[in-house]
Amino acid sequence: MNAQFAVDLCRDAVWTALLITSPILIAGTVIGLLIGLFQALTQIQEQTIAIVLKIIVMVLVAAYLMPWMTELMVDHSIDVFHTIPGIIPETVEPPLSGG
């Protein structure tokens, strides 16, 4: 295993994490922006409205996208497991059986 392999593995893990979390974060950001605009226009300064609506929308987006996120995580895990034989050095000899 060399340094480039470790960097590629970490890059793929971070990229997968970004893909999984970005729809939820984008939904929360958009809802927060819309609620903030609404509150500014109506001069309502109630913070619980924004927090509760953001939580509800983010949970709904997470529930809706759960199959896709699960598939993405499983695919990444399978790719990592398939690279494990390439990590193990080939010079390692199997242990001798006692007998």
pLDDT of residue 13: 93
Give the model confidence (pLDDT) of 24-47 as tens digits: 999 999 999 999 999 889 988 888
Instruction: Mark 5-44 as b/e (b = at least 16 C-beta within 10 Å).
Output: eeeeeeeeeeebeeebeebbeebbeebeeebeeeeeeeee
Task: Supply the pTM of this predicted model.
Answer: 0.74
The CA-based angle 71-69-65, given to 5 degrees, is 120
Instruction: Report domain extents, the chain.
Output: 3-83
* pLDDT in the model for residue 47: 85
